[in-house]
Each structure stands twice: as C-alpha cells, then as structure tokens.
Amino acid sequence: MITNYRLSKSKYLSAFQCEKKLWLEIHDRKKATPIDEIQQAIFSQGHYVGELATKAYPGGVLIDSDYLDIPKGIEITQDELAKNPTAIFEGFFQYNDVLVRPDIMVNNGDGSWDFIEVKSSTTLKPENIRDIAIQTYVISGCGVKIRKSYLMHLNRECAYPDLDNLFELEDLTEQIKPFIQEMDNSLERLRIMLNEKQAPDISIGARCTKPYNCHFREHCWQDVPEYSVFNIPGLYQTKKEELYKNNIIQLEDIPLDTPLNQKQLKFIESFKSKQPVIQKDKISTELKQLTYPLYFLDFETFGPAVPRHEGLHPYEQYPFQYSCHILDVKQEVSHMEYLHTDTTDPRLHLLKSLIETLNDNGSIVAYHAGFEKGVISKLSKQFPKYVKELEAINERFWDQLNIFRKYYTDYRFKGTNGLKSVLPVVVPGMGYSSLNVQEGSQAQLVWDQMISEKDEKKKGELIQHLLEYCRLDTQAMVEIHQVLMRQTKGIK
C-alpha cells in the first residue's frame, strides 16, 4: 500500500533538485545541517520583500494562522474567500495532499483570481516556473478559478528614493501549463519513491549546490576525503562527477591518461610530492612591478534587496568599510581604516577617507583587485566631483591573487585560490577561525545589525568584530607579501 505523504511546495520542489533530498526531508530529517545565521538572513530578507509586495494591494487579508494547524488555516482561508476580499495573502490551500500558501491572490471581481508568487530575485529563474505551477495546480484543485499566474520580482531598474517601480510582474500562465498537465503523474512518481525503505542512490555533484545549497550536503559528502578529485582546479564539474561515479575519488587514483592542463598537473604534482610548486622567477618578476609605499586594501560592501540610499538599485553593492595596511620602503607597517557606524549613506564619507589614506603614489595591493577597482569605479560615477582622484587610484592596483592563479600551487589550498584558503598554508598560524566575523557575507549581516543597534555596549562589540575581520584581510596580504619576498630573495 502506498502512503500518500503530505507534501508542501518546498518539499515538492526539493525533489527536482534531488530526490534523495526529498526522501531525507521526509524520513531522516536529523541528518540535515542546521540553518546558519546567513541563510536565515536571506530568508528574512525574502519575507521582508514579500511584505512590501502586499502593500500594492490595500484591503487585502492576511491569513495569519499557525502552520501546525493546517485544517484551521484552510477553514479561515475558505471563510475569507467567501467574503470576496480585494486580495488574500498567504492563504492555506491543500489538494492531492499538497499544501501551498500563495503569497498573493488578487480578486478580479468576476469570480476569478490572479495568483502572484513573490521572489526577492531580480529575474525569472527556471525553478520559479515549477514553483508557480505546483501552486496553481493546488489552488485550482481546490475549486478556485485562476485567471492568470504571475511571478513578481524586484525590478533592477528601480532606484532609490523612488520605489514606486520596485516590483515587476511576469505572466507565466502559458509557461506553467505543461508542468500542470504532468503534475498528477509527477506526484505519483514522487510518492512511489518516498515509499521505498531506503533513500534513492543518487551521486553527489553540482545538484548539491544548485539551484540552492542542500542542507544534507555534509551528510552526503561525509565519505569524500579531504583531498579528492573534487579539489582539482578548473576541472569541469561533469568530469569530476564522472570520475567519482567510476570510483576514482582519491587523487592518487587518477589514471595517468586523464586529460589535464598544466595548472591541474601542478596541483597533482604538489599533492604527490607534498610540496608546493612555486615558479620563483615569475613571482620575482611580478613583485618587481610594485612601487613603494605599498597600500594593502580591502573593502567590505553591502547590497540589500531593497535599496536604501540615493541612486542605488536592488542588490547594488556599496562600501561601508575599508582596511589599509601601508608598507613603506623600510618595511615598516602602519594601518588606516574606516567603518561607517550609523544608518546614513556611508559612500561619501568613505571615499573622502580613502582618498586621504591612499595619497597619490605607491602601488595598491588587493586580493582579487577587480572587486576593489569595481567599487571605486562605481563611486567615481556616483560622485563625479571625485572622478579624477578615484580614477587615478584605480590605475595603481596590483593583484596579489594573480601570483596564486599563475605561479604558486599548493595542494593544501584544496583547488581554490581564495585568501582564506591560501593564508593558513602560506603563513602558518594565521587564519580566521578565532574571529567572531569570519567571512564577507557574515560581515554584511553584522554591519546591518550594528548600524541599527541601540545598546551602546552591544554596538561597540559589533564594531570591534568588523574592524578585526577587515583588518585581518589586509594584514594577511602583508604577511603573504613578505613570505613571497623571502622566497624570491636573490632571484634576478
């Protein structure tokens, strides 16, 4: 006998990322990794965008009922539908043992309704179509006539302070029809799978992170060794998955005839020898391009879904902090920094401080300098009064990342060249694990919390966490530079 497991919209959609994910959500939830604060902040931002969207439909009724009492939520929704309101938000609809809570349903006044799914993205994504299809299928199955089904997403052309065009609608009524036609069969297949006593045997791969990071990833990847075929830099994901499926997992198991480029061969060479592969002559040539004093620069930026400052668009990044370690020709180090600590626009204050700090001579060193240069280019367009100074700054950049992209390979980087992977290997004992803020996305979250914090003690603690994090980014580049200088000493 097949058990008709009740599905929610999110569970149904899980299956189209990976059926094993859905099976585990139903039968073995404890294997999931708990949601972290960064993911929770993304959810919160989505809820906020959803609330803003409802303001376009005044007089609408929110079905504010507990998820744990589904029958009550359905009853309240049916009662409100009977009252013929202008709109309903987050109603309860269940059909064929699938529960959905559509963001917005708009009353057309002729017995039909328009269904609107709100997303905090700025474009239509492939997974959105199936999302809207399952909801339309359920709502229609409950006897509600749906005239049109829409995706409402953020409009990238919207600019603060005019938020009247923050959202735009895309009519997906026709696009979802093929999915709805297959919905009964699709649900039946999933329920047959869910009635199996074991999870489907599905290999790990790109599906573990696309379109979303799976919260069972740690469980499914637990037997993959620290150094594996998945660490090979620049190798196509499909090739990595092919090797894995053929039980070629350990780096030492890779067949000699596997086609690899020079960078990948150097990675394998480093792993086998347990030594880095360093092209010291090439690194020396790159280092000789530098002009003292050296300014080691790093920005932290923030880009909320709903813009807050003049001229900014949804998700447009703007800087709120920088750190700059300065190394002079005598190898003496000084430090300058800026952190904006309130809810006002940080950009003008920061750029004035930045111009003063960087002076007008000396190389500016960044790790992945394209990011810092992009931030400065935007500032020059947003504040044209300072375009001359900012353009001159951008001409002085030197990218430390290029050393590790081209001339320095170490298997302990695990196939990536990010600063957080490189630092503890090149400079043993240095790392981010002891900090309260350990990555850029966390810094954004902490800054957003700090600027609105009313408790002065708590605000002060958050400020220190941010300063320590950004300061370490630039101190790390100084330390790496000094290691590179020692390694290439004497090379002409």
For the stretch 75-127, pLDDT in tens is 999 999 999 999 999 999 999 999 999 999 999 999 999 999 999 999 999 99
Q: Would you place residue 490 in the very low, low, confident or very high pLDDT band (cuts 50, 70, 90)?
A: confident
- The SS3 of residue 40 is helix
Whether the per-residue pLDDT at 408 is higher than 90: the answer is: yes
Looking at residue 270, its pLDDT comes to 97
Whether the per-residue pLDDT at 491 is higher than 90: the answer is: no
Looking at residue 4, its pLDDT comes to 79
Whether the per-residue pLDDT at 426 is higher than 60: the answer is: yes
Q: Which residues face 150 on adjacent strands?
A: 116, 171
Task: Among 2-6, 136-140, 242-246, 255-259, name the one with the lowest average pLDDT.
Answer: 2-6
Looking at residue 65, its pLDDT comes to 83
Whether the per-residue pLDDT at 57 is higher than 60: the answer is: yes
Looking at residue 395, its pLDDT comes to 97
Task: Among 104-108, 243-247, 351-355, name the one with the lowest average pLDDT.
Answer: 243-247
**DSSP, residue by residue, 147-169:** EEEEEEEE-TT-BTTB-TTSEEE
Q: Would you place residue 66 in the very low, low, confident or very high pLDDT band (cuts 50, 70, 90)?
A: confident
CA–CA gap between residue 343 and residue 451 (Å, rounded):
5
Looking at residue 476, its pLDDT comes to 98
Whether the per-residue pLDDT at 68 is higher than 90: the answer is: no
On average, the pLDDT of the chain sits at 96
The structure tokens 């869910």 sit at 194
Question: What mean pLDDT comes out for the span 17-27?
Answer: 97
Q: What percent of the chain has pLDDT over 70?
A: 99
Task: Among 35-39, 49-53, 209-213, 359-363, name the one with the lowest average pLDDT.
Answer: 35-39
Q: What percent of the chain has pLDDT over 90?
A: 95
| Number of Cα atoms under 13 Å in the Cβ half of residue 416 | 8
Among candidate residues 142, 153, 68, the one with its CA nearest the CA of residue 104: 153
Q: Which long-range contacts (CB under 8 A, 24 or more apart) does 300-303 make?
A: 300/440, 300/443, 300/444, 300/447, 300/466, 300/469, 300/470, 301/375, 301/444, 302/444, 302/447, 302/448, 303/444
Domains and CATH numbers, the chain: 7-194 (3.90.320), 224-252+260-274 (no CATH), 276-492 (3.30.420.10)
Whether the per-residue pLDDT at 1 is higher than 70: the answer is: no
- CA-based radius of gyration for the chain: 27
Instruction: Provide CB contacts within 8 A for 58, sequence distance 6+.
Output: 86
Task: Among 62-66, 262-266, 271-275, 311-315, name the one with the lowest average pLDDT.
Answer: 62-66
Q: Would you place residue 2 in the very low, low, confident or very high pLDDT band (cuts 50, 70, 90)?
A: low
pTM exceeding the 0.85 threshold for the entire prediction:
yes
